[in-house]
């Protein structure tokens, strides 16, 4: 009998593990016998905003490693901010903890997030009072310590402050020094499966989910292949892409991933089957 890797699901910002129950059910209906582990950080909703990102990643790590079903590997499935947490787990821990074998992201803000000057801030993603704080003092040590999304708040108007903030995104992208372990771990999955869509009005820029980022303002987009750190292959992105291991797939509107059964079953499920 073929044994399948379990799937670990990490919920998005301002949600809890109940928000991904549809995903769990649809996956089990489509792949009989598959094991699924739903993880949650803190109390879910508020902790996903007001908890230090490294602490959130550590809670995800505990959830994964305290479950013996993941000891031979697992597929990481991250919804929205949950995909950023999964990226953090992969790059910080894949060499010494239970191993992620494939990364599947449903609109994860892995290229950073910024809004509010030329782009629109959708309060359904981060409450507007939080984005107001981030625009003013995102890179202060205090805010980096207590606001989770500050870890990937990449302000195109303050790039120097962003780089010097030592945020999680700066570390994962190897912006300051190249940490070979972080780079090797990035390349240790068989593929990165990344869903994103122009219809997504919550992640800005929308293609952050596929490693694009804002250019000199929050209207100009730098595509993945045009990023400076892509050309320098600072964290393994170029290597993975030239090997055909970065899949950028057409996604849906942001909330649709967790309530559109047809989309999920027709597009996502096929990437959740992997033999041990």
Q: Assign 3-class secondary structure to 14-63.
A: CCCHHHHHHHHHHHHHHCCCCCEEEECCCCCCCCCCCCCHHHHHHHHHHH
- Asked, for residue 2, whether it belongs to a domain, the answer is no
Strand partners, 250: 196
Question: 1 pLDDT exceeds 70?
Answer: no
- Asked, for residue 198, whether it belongs to a domain, the answer is yes
Return all residues near 57 (Cβ < 8 A) that are at least 6 apart: 85, 88, 89, 92, 168
Mean pLDDT of the chain: 96
Query: Mean of the pLDDT values across residues 80-101?
Result: 99
pTM of the model: 0.97
DSSP 87-148: HHHHHHHTTTSSPEEEEEEES--TT-B--SSSS---TTTS-HHHHHHHHHHTTSHHHHHH-G
- Asked, for residue 98, whether it belongs to a domain, the answer is yes
- Asked, for residue 190, whether it belongs to a domain, the answer is yes
Strand partners, 37: 8
Contact yes or no for 68/94 (Cβ under 8 A): no
What is the per-residue pLDDT across 110-138, written as a single tens digit (0 to 9) for each? Answer: 999 999 899 988 877 888 899 999 999 99
> What's the angle, vertex CA 192, arms to CA 7 and CA 233, rounded to 5?
145
User: Is 13 strand, coil or helix?
Assistant: coil
User: What pLDDT does 43 receive?
Assistant: 85
Q: Which domain holds residue 252?
A: 7-271
What proportion of the chain, given as a percentage, has pLDDT over 70? 99
Lowest mean per-residue pLDDT among 24-38, 124-138, 174-188, 222-236: 124-138
The enclosing domain of 96 has a CATH number of 3.40.50.1820
- Asked, for residue 157, whether it belongs to a domain, the answer is yes
Contact yes or no for 137/165 (Cβ under 8 A): no
Rounded to an integer, what distance in angstroms lies between the CA atom of residue 178 and that of residue 183?
Answer: 8
What is the per-residue pLDDT across 48-90, written as a single tens digit (0 to 9) for each? Answer: 999 999 999 999 999 999 999 999 999 999 999 999 999 999 9
Contact yes or no for 151/139 (Cβ under 8 A): no
Domain count, the chain: 1
């Amino acid at each position: 009998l073929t044994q399948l890797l379990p799937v670990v699901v990490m919920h998005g910002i301002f949600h809890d593990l109940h928000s991904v129950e549809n995903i769990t059910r649809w996956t089990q209906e489509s792949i009989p016998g598959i094991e699924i582990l739903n993880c949650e950080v803190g109390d879910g909703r508020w902790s996903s905003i007001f908890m230090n990102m490294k602490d959130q990643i550590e809670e995800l790590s505990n959830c994964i490693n305290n479950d013996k079903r993941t000891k031979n590997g697992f597929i990481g499935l991250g919804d929205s901010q949950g995909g950023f947490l999964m990226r953090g787990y992969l790059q910080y821990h894949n060499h010494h903890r239970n191993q992620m074998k494939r990364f599947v992201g449903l609109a994860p803000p892995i290229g950073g997030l910024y809004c509010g000057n030329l782009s629109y801030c959708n309060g359904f993603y981060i409450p507007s009072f939080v984005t107001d704080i981030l625009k003013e003092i995102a890179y202060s040590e205090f805010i980096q310590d207590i606001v989770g999304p500050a870890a990937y708040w990449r302000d195109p108007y303050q790039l120097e402050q962003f780089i010097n903030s030592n945020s999680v995104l700066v570390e994962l992208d190897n912006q300051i020094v190249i940490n070979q372990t972080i780079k090797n771990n990035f390349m240790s999955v068989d593929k990165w499966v990344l869903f994103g869509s122009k219809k997504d009005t919550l992640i800005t820029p929308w293609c952050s989910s596929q490693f694009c980022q804002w250019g000199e303002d929050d209207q100009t987009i730098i595509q993945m292949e045009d990023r400076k750190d892509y050309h320098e292959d600072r964290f393994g992105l170029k290597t993975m892409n030239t090997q055909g291991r970065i899949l950028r797939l057409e996604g849906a509107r942001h909330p649709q991933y967790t309530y559109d059964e047809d989309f999920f079953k027709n597009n996502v499920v096929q990437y959740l089957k992997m033999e041990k």
